[in-house]
Structure 1
Amino acid sequence: MNVHSFPPIVDADSRYLILGSMPGVASLRAQRYYWNERNFMWRILYGLFSPGSAPSERYEDRVAFALNHGVALWDVIESCERPGSLDSNIKQVIPNDIPGLLARFPKIGILVCNGTKSHSELNKHFGTDPEVVKRRIIRMPSTSPIPTRDYRGLDDRLAAWRALLEV
Structure 2
Amino acid sequence: MQSLHFHTIEPVIFADSKVLILGSFPSIKSFEEGFYYAHPRNQFWPILAAIYKEPVQTKEEKTALCKKHKIALFDSAASLQRDANNSSDTNLKNITVNDFEKLLAEYPNIKTILFTGKKAQQIFDKEYKHLKIKKLLLPSTSPAYASMKFEEKLAKYKEALPHPFQ
| Corresponding residue of 2:135 | 137
**1:52-78 CA distances to partner (integer Å, 9 max, x unpaired)?**
x5x332111111111110100000001
Which of 143, 152, 155 matches 1:156? 152
Which of 31, 35, 38 matches 1:32? 35
How many correspondences in the alignment?
Answer: 158
Structure 1: tracts of 5 or more residues without a match: none
Q: TM-score with structure 2 length normalisation?
A: 0.89
**1:26-59 CA distances to partner (integer Å, 9 max, x unpaired)?**
0011111111111111111122222xx5x33211
SS at match of 1:82: strand
How far off its partner does 1:166 sit? 7.4
Shift of the 57–148 alpha-carbon distance from structure 1 to 2, 3 Å rule, reads closer
| Corresponding residue of 1:111 | 113
| Corresponding residue of 2:49 | 46
| Corresponding residue of 2:144 | 146
The CA distance in 2 between the partners of 1:32 and 1:157, in whole Å, is 21
| Corresponding residue of 2:17 | 14
Q: TM-score with structure 1 length normalisation?
A: 0.88
SS at match of 1:107: coil
Q: What is the identity percentage for the equivalent residue pairs of Structure 1 and Structure 2? A: 31
CA RMSD of aligned residues (A): 1.6
| Corresponding residue of 2:82 | 82
Q: 1:45 touches 1:66 (CA, 8 Å); kept in 2?
A: no
The CA distance in 1 between the partners of 2:146 and 2:23, in whole Å, is 17
The CA distance in 2 between the partners of 1:166 and 1:26, in whole Å, is 28
* Deviates further, 117-126 or 2-11: 2-11
Please list every run of at least 4 consecutive aligned residues from structure 1 whose deviation after the TM superposition is greater than 4 angstroms.
none
Which of 79, 94, 97 matches 1:95? 97
How far off its partner does 1:4 sit? 2.0
The CA distance in 2 between the partners of 1:25 and 1:166, in whole Å, is 29
SS at match of 1:112: strand
Structure 2: tracts of 5 or more residues without a match: none
